[in-house]
Amino acid sequence: MHTIVLATQKGGSGKSTLAIGLALAAKQAGFTVRLIETDPQGTLSNWQRRRNNDDIVVEPIYHAADFAPRLKMLAESGLQLAIVDTAAGLSAATTAAIRYSDLCLIPARPSVADIEATVSTLSVARAWKRPYSFVLNQTPIRGQRIDNAANTLAEEAALDLSDVLARPLIVMRNDHQDSLANGLAVSEFAPNGKSTEEIRGLWQWVETRLNISATNVLIEQVISAANGMLHVVAERTADEATNLAS
């Protein structure tokens, strides 16, 4: 199982809408997905209540101590992907989520305040040596501010821009908020829209960054299950041989 965490210090950066969009894009790509909510504000839970489809489960985990054992149980159940939405600021639950992530996505609007707010999240990801990338979100369609923000994030991370900035940038459009209000992902609300194209592109970027595909993950799970069964059979055969010898 792979775990993707969306985290940043500043509120209003679009973590929840990105989490929902990525979850549906991953599901449409063939992955089994669960959304995990660590934010007591309950944006994802409220979204699920407005939804007329139970194909994506939202699971609240509000206590840091519950995070690792629950991820272990989900992985053992065969789940392929967990996407975690966190609260603004840094909390024990957010830190635990980042600690056990395979990729920490740090959304930021192209403003000085948002970029400055990424520092604490970046520090936690680095402290636990977790892979991370920035997502420039709610950007204008074009403008110098986007380039300035992208370059500043690269300098902050001290890495090449291609390594640290997810693509494509996510443009500010009403589709994201309208889909959230209707209990939908943007790919369901406007399946042929630009916003959907960008979210699907972002998911494809994440797949490449993590070097995963739904088919390969399924094959790995089948092999793992087969190895487990062989181990059980071997133990049982050894026990039977011992009993006969005695």
The pLDDT tens digits for 74-83 are 999 999 999 9
Mean pLDDT along residues 59-65 = 96
Residue 226 pLDDT: 47
Burial of 44 (0-12, 13-18, 19+ CB in 10 A): buried
What is the CB-side half-sphere exposure of residue 81 using CA atoms within 13 A? 30
Burial of 76 (0-12, 13-18, 19+ CB in 10 A): exposed
For residue 121, the domain's CATH number is 3.40.50.300
Percent of all residues in the chain with a pLDDT value above 70, rounded to a whole number: 78
Mean pLDDT along residues 163-174 = 88
Range(s) of the domain holding residue 177? 2-212
Same-domain status, 136 and 202: yes
Same-domain status, 159 and 218: no
CA–CA gap between residue 174 and residue 178 (Å, rounded): 6
Residue 69 has pLDDT above 80, yes or no: yes
Mean pLDDT along residues 168-183 = 94
Same-domain status, 80 and 137: yes
Same-domain status, 73 and 186: yes
Same-domain status, 62 and 103: yes
Residue 243 pLDDT: 63
Q: Are 23 and 202 in contact (CB under 8 A)?
A: no
Residue 218 has pLDDT above 90, yes or no: no
Residue 34 pLDDT: 97
Same-domain status, 225 and 127: no
Residue 178 is encoded by which pair of tokens?
A: 């309208």
Same-domain status, 243 and 200: no
Total domain count for the chain? 2
Peptide bond into 131 cis (omega under 30): no
- Weakest mean pLDDT among 13-17, 85-89, 123-127, 159-163: 159-163
Residue 212 has pLDDT above 50, yes or no: yes
H-only helix segments in the chain: 15-28, 43-50, 64-76, 92-99, 112-116, 118-127, 144-157, 161-164, 174-181, 186-189, 194-210, 214-245
| Digit-coded pLDDT (tens) for 100-155 | 999 999 999 888 888 888 989 999 999 999 999 999 899 887 655 666 666 666 66
Residue 56 pLDDT: 92
Same-domain status, 13 and 110: yes
Q: Which residue has the higher pLDDT, 130 or 231?
A: 130
Of 29, 244, 6, residue with least CA distance to 135:
6
Same-domain status, 99 and 72: yes
Give first-to-last CA distance, the chain, whole Å.
43
Same-domain status, 218 and 204: no
Residue 210 pLDDT: 94
State which H helix or E strand residue 53 sits in. Answer: none
Mean pLDDT along residues 156-172 = 73
| CB-CB neighbours of 79 under 10 Å | 19
Same-domain status, 190 and 223: no
DSSP of 10-51:
STTS-HHHHHHHHHHHHHHTT--EEEEE--TT-HHHHHHHH-
CA–CA gap between residue 27 and residue 21 (Å, rounded): 10
Contacts of 87 (CB under 8 A, 6+ apart): 38, 39, 40, 41, 93, 94
Q: From the centroid of its chain, how far is CA 24?
A: 11
Residue 217 has pLDDT above 60, yes or no: no
Same-domain status, 158 and 71: yes
Residue 120 three-state SS: helix
Residue 3 three-state SS: strand
Mean pLDDT along residues 166-190 = 94
